[in-house]
Amino acid sequence: MTGRLGMLHALPRARLTSFETPIEPLARLSAYCGGAKLFAKRDDCSGLALGGNKVRQLEFYLGEAQAEDADTILITGAVQSNFCRLAAAAARKLGMDCHIQLEDRVAKDDATYRNSGNVLLDRILGATLHNYGAGEDEAGADRRLEAIADELRGRGRRPYVIHLAPGHKPLGALGYVIAGEEIAGQMEGSDLVFDEFVVASGSGNTHAGLLFGLRALGIRATVTGVCVRRSADEQFARIASRCVEIAALLGISNPVQGNDIRLTDTFLAPGYGQLNEATLQAIELAAQREGMIVDPVYTGKTMAGFLERARALGAGHALLFLHTGGTPAVFGYGQALTEAFGKA
């Protein structure tokens, strides 16, 4: 199995978790959807600082940082970024400092959004916080990170920058090539056969990495990405490019064809980090039927897409929801969620 993934296991990797995340049946949601067999891959249980998909991605970024003898990690993301929170945790676990740049992607000024959830955890982890006023300027955010890195170098530090914009090695995507390999092993060790995988599609690293890994291992099931930041047309080009970059990084042929890239932006409006009725319903259903918490930004919208796909496919079909975490963001969105679900 490993040989089909090229250089994957030869690249620097900092092990941040030591166990496979489980695949769990979702019996009550299955009944709600008319008998489709629903399961969740619980990457929200990945262990580091309340978990999430970015743990897998950070293993490769931090592995390269260690190989370069870095002492400080720099990263940029939205105010309630799970990636930033986990980067700070990973840096601390490995004895490094962390600088986080928080971008104003969501037009929310309430104190809870700006101080609770992931932001509070960033502070508890001792990260140095910076603000970037633009919300949709990936290249500009990266340039500002590089400027901060230059300032740190001038003080004798050894910074490592985790870039946001395209055009850099997709090291984070390799974490989900690994996840594809892990899922394939879990399927082989059981009677699980999935017709479709449903995953959040934002930066593109998780979606592209999972799709690439599954296809490289000969698994042809549909992989549907639920758009959480940009339209399906915009996201298609991003996923296609990521897959080309992964192939180059691993030194193998790209197993992903254009018709492998499936996307839906049905649940995106009114935009990144903003709630809609379908997302609120998905948050409620996951919590009250399975005791599973999904967040307003990524996994809530993805759960809405997952349930729609389950109803469309119908009884007898098996679908796997990639639970990519995001639990702390629930508290960052406390004001909106309290309004939605009522006060005690």
Exposed, middle or buried: residue 341 (CB in 10 Å: 0-12, 13-18, 19+)?
A: exposed
User: Based on the domain organization, do 22 and 64 belong to the same domain?
Assistant: no
Question: How would DSSP label each residue in 187-210?
Answer: HHTSS---SEEEEEESSSHHHHHH
Last residue of a domain, one of 111, 141, 162: 162
Q: Which two tokens stand for residue 230?
A: 């940009």
User: Based on the domain organization, do 182 and 331 belong to the same domain?
Assistant: yes
| Residue 89 · residue 176 · CB < 8 Å | no
Active-site positions?
81
Question: How would DSSP label each residue in 298-326?
Answer: THHHHHHHHHHHHHHH-TT-EEEEEE---
User: Based on the domain organization, do 132 and 237 belong to the same domain?
Assistant: no
> Could you give the count of Cα atoms lying within 13 Å of 267 in the half-sphere of its Cβ?
33
Last residue of a domain, one of 162, 182, 198: 162
Task: Please give the pLDDT value at position 344.
Answer: 52
User: Based on the domain organization, do 185 and 315 belong to the same domain?
Assistant: yes
What pTM value is reported for the model? 0.96
How many structural domains are present in the chain? 2
Of residues 167, 164, 174, the one with CA closest to residue 202: 164
Residue 225: CB atoms within 10 A of its CB come to: 30
User: Based on the domain organization, do 48 and 58 belong to the same domain?
Assistant: no
User: Based on the domain organization, do 13 and 67 belong to the same domain?
Assistant: no
User: Between 117-124 and 82-93, two packed helices, what is the crossing angle to 10 degrees?
Assistant: 20
Last residue of a domain, one of 122, 142, 162: 162
The mean pLDDT values, 10 residues at a time, for the chain of 344 residues are 82 94 97 96 96 97 98 97 98 98 91 96 98 89 97 98 92 98 94 96 97 98 98 97 97 97 98 96 98 98 98 96 97 94 73
Residue 71: CB atoms within 10 A of its CB come to: 17
Where in the sequence is the domain holding 310, given as residue range(s)? 2-52+169-341
CATH of the domain at 109: 3.40.50.1100
User: Based on the domain organization, do 215 and 153 belong to the same domain?
Assistant: no
